[in-house]
Amino acid sequence: MDPDFLALLACPQCKGELTEVTEPEFGLVCPACRLRFPVKEQIPVLLLEEASPHF
């Protein structure tokens, strides 16, 4: 994902920074909330309903 685009995104819960993860599948993670947001068809889905716990 483009670093400039990633810098514009924020966690919808805490407004914190998001980081990319590739395992087990590509997504964005908020380290503060420990939530993983999916990326579908190269579009980040930043809905709390779609987030899953990230350990």
Residue 43 burial (C-beta neighbours within 10 Å; 0-12, 13-18, 19+): exposed
Q: What is the pLDDT of residue 22?
A: 87
- Taking every pair of Cα atoms in the chain, the longest distance, rounded to a whole number of angstroms, is 26
Q: What is the pLDDT of residue 50?
A: 95
What are the structural domain ranges in the chain? 3-53
Q: What is the pLDDT of residue 30?
A: 96
The CATH number of 3-53, from 1.10.4080.10, 2.40.50.100, 2.20.25.10, 1.20.58.220, is 2.20.25.10
Residue 9 burial (C-beta neighbours within 10 Å; 0-12, 13-18, 19+): middle
Q: What is the pLDDT of residue 46?
A: 96
> What average pLDDT score do residues 45-55 get?
93
- Digit-coded pLDDT (tens) for 11-41: 999 999 999 998 888 999 999 999 999 999 9
Note the pTM of the prediction, 2 decimals.
0.89
